[in-house]
């Protein structure tokens, strides 16, 4: 059928897969950022990677919920992605 919308089960599955990959990517960035900070002593590349991981990761890992509750600042997803992209760009420029 053309023009039919997906069923709620399909939508939920796609949403869960998206959250999983976002969490996995955030976890990878966080671990890599901590590795750069602790092992390589490359703070200029490690800190932006770790901050990007905290911004990208969903609530159990990320800091969005804490910032929203403690500081009463609500960051949109677009703003978080822009900040995370800038952090990734800074880290990319400073990697050996």
For residues 1-8, give the mean pLDDT: 68
The confidence score (pLDDT) of residue 2 equals 61
How far apart, in whole angstroms, are the C-alpha atoms of residue 94 and residue 43?
Answer: 9
Kindly tell me if the per-residue pLDDT of 3 is higher than 70: no
Question: How do residues 13-64 score in pLDDT, each as one tens digit?
Answer: 888 888 888 888 888 999 999 999 999 998 999 999 999 988 888 776 677 7
Alpha-carbon Rg for the chain in angstroms: 16
Report DSSP state, residue 75.
-
CA 26 from chain centre, in angstroms, equals 5
């Amino acid at each position: 059928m053309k023009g039919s919308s997906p069923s709620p089960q399909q939508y939920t599955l796609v949403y869960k897969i998206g959250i999983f990959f976002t969490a996995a990517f955030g976890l990878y960035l966080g671990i890599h950022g901590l590795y750069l900070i602790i092992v390589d002593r490359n703070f200029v590349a490690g800190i932006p990677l770790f901050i990007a991981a905290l911004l990208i990761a969903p609530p159990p890992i990320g800091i969005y919920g804490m910032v929203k509750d403690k500081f009463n600042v609500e960051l949109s997803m677009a703003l978080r992605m822009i900040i995370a992209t800038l952090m990734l760009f800074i880290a990319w420029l400073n990697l050996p």
